[in-house]
C-alpha cells in the first residue's frame, strides 16, 4: 500500500497600521487515489470575511474531479455538507451567516468517489460596523456607528483627506458603546473615520472609504 503524501502550508501574517480584510489560511491535505506515479497536490485554503458573508477560497488540486464544502458551528459541532462544486470552481460564498456565531469551514477534493483529508480552523463572523453620522463641535468630532452583535470592542480609525493610511485613534469597549468623540481633530482639517468590530482576536470587515467630515472648530 502506498503512503499518502501530505504537505503543510506555513502562513506569515504581516501587520500594518490597519490590518487587511480578515483572512485565515488553513492547511489542505489531499489524499487522492493512488494510480501509477500520480502525486498528491496539497494547497492552501482560505476564507475571507466580507460585510455580510464568508468567502471560502482554495487553489486547484491536481486530479480533483470536484470539491465538497463543509461547515459547522460552535453550537452543534457537527459537520454539514453545504455545497458540491465542479473541478473548475475554486471559491464559495456563504451568505447564511450570523454575527457573533463561530463557523468552521473545510474543503474536500473528490476523485472517483474518494475524498481528500482536511485540516480546519474556527473563526467568528462579525457584521461590519459602519459610521452612520458625525458632528463637529467645539470639543471635538463625535462619530456614531452601527452596533455589531457579538463584538466586545470597536477600533476607531482616522485618516486625513488626501492620505491613504489609516491610524487607530481609539479602542471603545462594549458592544453597545457605539459613539466616540475625537478631541484631537484640528480646525479646518477634513478627516475620514472608519470602525472595525472585534470579538477577542476575531475581527470584522471594515469600510475602506470611511465617513468624511470637516472640523469647523
Domain borders along the chain are 23-125, 131-214
pLDDT of residue 22: 39
Q: Domain 131-214's class?
A: mainly beta
Is residue 160 pLDDT above 60, yes or no?
Answer: yes
Is 37 a residue whose pLDDT tops 60? no
Is the fold of 23-125 the same as that of 131-214? yes
Residue 189 pLDDT:
97
pLDDT band, very low/low/confident/very high, at 59 (cuts 50, 70, 90):
confident
Residue 190's DSSP bridge partners are 214
pTM (2 d.p.): 0.75
pLDDT of 26 above 50: no
Measure Cα distances from 75 to 72, 78, 79, 111 in Å.
8, 9, 11, 31
23-125, CATH topology level: Immunoglobulin-like (2.60.40)
Mean pLDDT score of the chain, rounded to an integer? 80
Judge contact between 140 and 181, C-beta under 8 A. Answer: yes
Q: Are the beta carbons of 172 and 129 closer than 8 angstroms?
A: no
Q: Find out whether 56 and 91 touch, Cβ atoms under 8 Å.
A: yes
DSSP 33: P
Amino acid at each position: 500500500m502506498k503512503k499518502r503524501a501530505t504537505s503543510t502550508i506555513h502562513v506569515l501574517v504581516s501587520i500594518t497600521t490597519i490590518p487587511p480584510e480578515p483572512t485565515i489560511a488553513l492547511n489542505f491535505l489531499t489524499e487522492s487515489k493512488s494510480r501509477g506515479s500520480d502525486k498528491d497536490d496539497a494547497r492552501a485554503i482560505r476564507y475571507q470575511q466580507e460585510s455580510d458573508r464568508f468567502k471560502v477560497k482554495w487553489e486547484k488540486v491536481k486530479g480533483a474531479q470536484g470539491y465538497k464544502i463543509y461547515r459547522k458551528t460552535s453550537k452543534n459541532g457537527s459537520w454539514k455538507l453545504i455545497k458540491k462544486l465542479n473541478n473548475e470552481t475554486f471559491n464559495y460564498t456563504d451568505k447564511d451567516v450570523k454575527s457573533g456565531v463561530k463557523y468552521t469551514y473545510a474543503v474536500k477534493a473528490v476523485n472517483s468517489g474518494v475524498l481528500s483529508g482536511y485540516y480546519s480552523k474556527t473563526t467568528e463572523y462579525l457584521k461590519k460596523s459602519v459610521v452612520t453620522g458625525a458632528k463637529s463641535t467645539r470639543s471635538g468630532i463625535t462619530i456614531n456607528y452601527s452596533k455589531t452583535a457579538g463584538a466586545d470592542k470597536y477600533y476607531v480609525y482616522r485618516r486625513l483627506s488626501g492620505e491613504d493610511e489609516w491610524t487607530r485613534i481609539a479602542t471603545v469597549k462594549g458592544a453597545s458603546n457605539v459613539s466616540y468623540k475625537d478631541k484631537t481633530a484640528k480646525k479646518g482639517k477634513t478627516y475620514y473615520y472608519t470602525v472595525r468590530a472585534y470579538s477577542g482576536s476575531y475581527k470584522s470587515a471594515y469600510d475602506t472609504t470611511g465617513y468624511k467630515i470637516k472640523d469647523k472648530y
